[in-house]
Copies of this chain bind each other. A is one copy, B any other.
Amino acid sequence: MQKILIAFGGNALLRNGDDSTFGAQLIRAREAFAKISDTILENDVIITHGNGPQVGNILLQNELSGGVTSPMPLHACGSMSQGLIGEILLNAYDDIRIKKGISKEGVVLMTRTVVSPDDPAFRNPSKPIGPYYDRQASERLSREKDWVMREENGKGLRRLVPSPVPVDIVERSAIFSMLNDGFMPICVGGGGIPVVKTPGGFVGVDAVIDKDLASSLIATILEVDRFVILTDVSNIFRDFGKKTEEGLHRISHEKLGELLANGSFPSGSMEPKVMAVLDFVRKTGKKAVIGSLDDAGRVIAEEAGTVVY
């Protein structure tokens, strides 16, 4: 019996271009839980997940209904996505739980993640989110809402938001209690709702938190034995897409840190995952694994994927 945190990539529910209906997402979530049911049966498991495609749709719905309803800020769209994905994951897990005779219940905890107002990301918004706009609409939004906009490969302009580093998880005690009480917490959805701490309380901010970095943080806080990232690639690759491309199987955190420093990983996709596992392994001395959701059982057993020690 180990404490294992499993971070589901966006592909556990919805891939770009996939059927995005509720029913289709439910089927995919069921497949994801079926692949890790033995792990849940034998261990204390915490589930975290991304929310990219879902929050994108919610944002789009907000924008398209502008003038008819009050559009909610980005962080509130994140909260809605935690609710939506929470229902999908709970129902999907219960289907598998009943089938496999697992008594452990899942529970979805709304989670807020603290970021620093001094994070340099706030001075340099870099994450494109939401729909594409033409130049006129873009200039209006920039003026009215103070949005930073950027042209994207000829398709129009998109809003850019900051992606600050997560520094704390507000609901850490609640997650810890639920785990101790024998539940499987489903939490830190989409990296958590970004908030800054003020003397008066917590204030939601429009930002995007990398879900792997936030998962690494809660994995470290909970002192789990293993941190598992299930995604859509089989391994960490050095020099991905180049002639020197090489899938990594077992690698020390020192060596992986060198590769990261040498710029071996593409910044958009694998880099934050590498940073997330490195941070966990360095702080806890425990192992982390990155691998394919399709091969989840073998990844968790360290027979597939990239093991970082």
Using a CB–CB cutoff of 8 Å, the interface residues on chain A facing chain B are: 19-22, 57-58, 60-62, 64-65, 68-70, 72-73, 75-76, 79-84, 86-88, 90-91, 94-95, 97-99, 105, 107-110, 112, 170-171, 173-174, 177-178, 181, 183, 193, 195, 199-204
Contacts and interface: CB of A to CB of B under 8 A. Distances in A.
A109 B109 contact: yes
Given A64-B61, A174-B105, A195 B91 contact: yes
B90 A83 contact: no
A198 to B, nearest CB: 9
A8 to B, nearest CB: 16
A194 to B, nearest CB: 11
A258 to B, nearest CB: 40
Contacts of A73: 22
A146 to B, nearest CB: 15
A190 B22 CA distance: 20
Contacts of A19: 70
Nearest to A177: B181
Contacts of A202: 90-91, 94
A183 B193 contact: no
Contacts of A60: 65, 68-69
Contacts of A57: 69-70
Contacts of A81: 80, 83
Contact of A83 (B86, B177, B201): B86
Given A64-B61, A174-B183, A83 B79 contact: yes
A42 B87 CA distance: 33
22 contacts: A20-B70, A60-B68, A61-B61, A61-B64, A61-B65, A64-B64, A64-B65, A76-B88, A80-B80, A82-B83, A82-B86, A83-B84, A90-B110, A90-B202, A91-B112, A91-B195, A91-B204, A94-B170, A94-B201, A110-B110, A173-B183, A177-B181
A176 B147 CA distance: 43
Most buried by B among A58, A112, A171, A200: A58
Contact of A109 (B22, B68, B108, B170): B108
A201 B203 CA distance: 37
Nearest to A181: B177
A176 to B, nearest CB: 9
Contacts of A97: 201
Contacts of A110: 83, 86-87, 90, 107-110
A112 B87 contact: yes
Nearest to A174: B107
Given A22-B73, A70-B21, A87-B112, A99 B200 contact: yes
B70 A22 contact: yes
Contacts of A95: 200-201
